[in-house]
């Protein structure tokens, strides 16, 4: 099996093509390939398939074998993959995901892919969409976990994201994020983003991803953090916001209810696997 290893701001993925639906157990394959000791190693497996609704179809499975509807860094890598492998023509095309059709724009510099810009869709605070357990919404809700108090806002940005702004202290992403992820508030768990506002156009985001753990960047998480920061008036409502994640920088733009993400995507290496 041929594979590509790709990363977007340090969030890494194994890419394989499966146009004829030969893969029988995608989730088990993801666990094997993503294992960093016995496999290739990655935060998730991305399967490239044909689509009847768009120019290509992206299937993403987390390292633990759980499925994800959407991943911002993965879809940027997917856009670069589809463009460079000539699966579609032109620098603007559509991708079918578990979160609907996403529009992709390839931004070139000296005929090479510099950025991939993705239409991320519209955020939702509705408890039924996220989904929450018998709660209409969670916006600046105070909760207590292990004697720690948090003000949380949860939004669906392709997948559920809980946003916590750092004020008096920095948070332990692994210890605190892993506990908040599994609160009974969330029917299907939640990604957790710890956000520091630097100035009106710059924020820092550290993310705990359900199914993957601490990752160097999360595209949907960075998008959700900007959406919530704008809603709460913590950053400029009319400008692009530069988001610094441990693995690199993403640029998020909100136009009305529409959210756009722009950032890098790179090929790390390619090879063959018998897993």
Q: 34, 77, 218, 222: which is the annotated catalytic residue?
A: 218
Q: Quick check: is 34 catalytic?
A: no
Residues 6+ apart with CB under 8 A from 21: 49
User: Is 166 marked as a binding-site residue?
Assistant: no
Three-class DSSP labels, 15-55? EEECCCCCCCCHHHHHHHHHCCCCCCCCCEEEEEECCCCCC
- Alpha-helical runs (H) found in 135-270: 173-181, 219-231
- Do the beta carbons of residue 218 and residue 209 sit within 8 Å? yes
Q: 210 among the known binding-site residues? A: yes
| 154 marked as binding residue | no
What would the two tokens of residue 138 be?
């969670």
Q: Is 218 in the active site?
A: yes
225: tokens are 């953090």
What Cα–Cα distance (Å) separates residue 244 from each residue in 52, 108, 146, 250, 263?
A: 36, 22, 29, 7, 11
The DSSP bridge pattern shows strands 202-209 and 241-245 to be parallel
Q: Is 219 annotated as a binding residue?
A: yes
To the question of whether residue 73 is assigned a binding role by annotation, the answer is yes
Answer yes or no: is 111 a known binding residue: no
Q: Is 72 annotated as a binding residue?
A: yes
Number of neighbouring beta carbons within 10 Å of residue 192: 29
Helix (H, G, I), strand (E, B) or coil at 268: strand
Phi and psi angles of residue 197, each rounded to the nearest 5 degrees, phi first: -80, 120
Residues 34, 71, 77, 222: which is the catalytic one?
Answer: 71
Cross-strand pairs, 109: 112
Q: Which residues are catalytic?
A: 71, 218
> Would you list which residues are annotated within the binding site?
11, 62, 72-73, 191, 209-210, 219-220
> Would you list which residues are annotated within the binding site for substrate?
11, 62, 72-73, 191, 209-210, 219-220
């Amino acid at each position: 099996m041929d594979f590509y290893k790709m990363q977007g701001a340090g969030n890494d993925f194994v890419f394989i093509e499966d146009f004829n639906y030969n893969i029988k157990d995608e989730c088990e394959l993801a666990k094997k390939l993503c294992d960093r000791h016995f496999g290739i190693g990655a935060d998730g497996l991305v399967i490239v398939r044909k689509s009847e609704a768009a120019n290509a179809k992206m299937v993403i499975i987390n390292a633990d074998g759980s499925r994800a509807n959407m991943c911002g860094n993965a879809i940027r890598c997917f856009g670069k993959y589809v463009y460079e492998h000539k699966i579609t023509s032109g620098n603007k095309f559509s991708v079918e995901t578990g979160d609907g059709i996403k529009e992709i724009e390839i931004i070139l510099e000296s005929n090479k892919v510099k950025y991939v810009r993705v239409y991320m869709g519209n955020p939702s605070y509705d408890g039924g969409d996220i989904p929450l357990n018998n709660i209409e919404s969670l916006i600046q809700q105070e909760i207590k976990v292990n004697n720690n108090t948090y003000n949380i806002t949860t939004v669906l940005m392709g997948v559920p994201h809980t946003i916590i702004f750092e004020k008096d202290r920095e948070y332990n992403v692994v210890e605190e994020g892993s506990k908040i992820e599994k609160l009974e508030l969330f029917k299907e768990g939640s990604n957790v983003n710890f956000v520091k506002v630097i100035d009106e156009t710059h924020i820092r985001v550290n993310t705990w991803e359900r199914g993957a753990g601490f990752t160097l960047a999360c595209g949907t998480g960075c998008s959700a953090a900007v959406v919530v920061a704008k809603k709460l008036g913590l950053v400029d409502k009319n400008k692009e916001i530069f988001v610094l994640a441990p693995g690199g920088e993403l640029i998020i733009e909100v136009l009305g209810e529409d959210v756009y993400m722009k950032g890098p995507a790179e090929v790390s290496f390619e090879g063959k696997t018998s897993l």
